[in-house]
Amino acid sequence: MKLIAVIDLLGGQVVHARRGERAKYASIKSRLCEGSDPATVAAALIALHRFEAIYVADLDAIQRRGTNAAALRAIARAAPGCDLWIDAGISNIQDVDRFRAEGCGSIVIGSESLHDCVLVDRLCSGGDDYVLSLDFRRSAFLGPKPLLDSPEAWPTRVLAMNLDLVGSSLGPDLQLIRNLRKAAPSRRIYAAGGLRNEADLDAACQAGASGALLATSLHDGSLSAYVKRLGGDIPRS
């Protein structure tokens, strides 16, 4: 099972995301490092474990309130050689072109940022490699319904993102993982939201997840010691 560390950016700082209520997000308080400086947090995560990638949510860009471009560059410098999966509210091909010009990392397309399937269809037909986040809140899909019904258009990497569980420490949405795995058995499904401990990682794997996004459980210490002992992937049958 692959592990992905998460950094949420708001106003140039790393914040603690909780249940998708972005107006209430406060600066991160972590046992891994002091303060909420993006480069400092990224360096602490890299020192903890050889993550497959760091997922970075530019919450200002997602909400169309500016960007955290400088913070993204600082994270890239602090985590050399680590792939960055960046969700910056990309919703059209012009956004894709601008992102690629910056050259900061891998594109994440969040379904909540899409009004239709035009961009996904274009990327699919072009064979583009990116990460698709299928976003849910209160059991409702956030995005164009045809996207959820067209798994053949999904890329290799798909995030099972339950925003209600982000930062909640309530455990992952196992049914969502199962549903996406059933719909797209050839895709790599990543559990996103609520993972607390080793048992949750095991349960997500059994549900069909190929990897998991981790934030709260790293910063509050509930999974950091376990993750630190690992040299790479978590072995799972």
The CATH number of residue 166's host domain is 3.20.20.70
Look at residue 235 and tell me if it is in a domain.
Answer: no
pLDDT at position 80 over 90: yes
Tokens of 119: 């961009």
Average pLDDT of the segment spanning 50-77: 94
Distance CA 136, CA 143 (A): 9
Average pLDDT of the segment spanning 59-79: 94
What is the number of structural domains in the chain? Answer: 1
| Domain, as residue range, for 17 | 2-229
Distance CA 225, CA 18 (A): 22
Look at residue 144 and tell me if it is in a domain.
Answer: yes
pLDDT of 236 reads: 53
Look at residue 170 and tell me if it is in a domain.
Answer: yes
DSSP state of 53: E
pLDDT of 237 reads: 40
Per-residue pLDDT tens for 168-193? 889 999 999 999 999 999 999 999 99
| Residue written as token pair 């798909």 | 158
Average pLDDT of the segment spanning 84-106: 92
Look at residue 84 and tell me if it is in a domain.
Answer: yes
| Residue written as token pair 């996004």 | 213
Other residues' Cβ atoms within 10 Å of the Cβ of residue 137: 16
Look at residue 135 and tell me if it is in a domain.
Answer: yes
Look at residue 237 and tell me if it is in a domain.
Answer: no
Distance CA 17, CA 227 (A): 21
> Is 0.95 topped by the overall pTM?
no
Distance CA 61, CA 124 (A): 23
pLDDT of 104 reads: 80
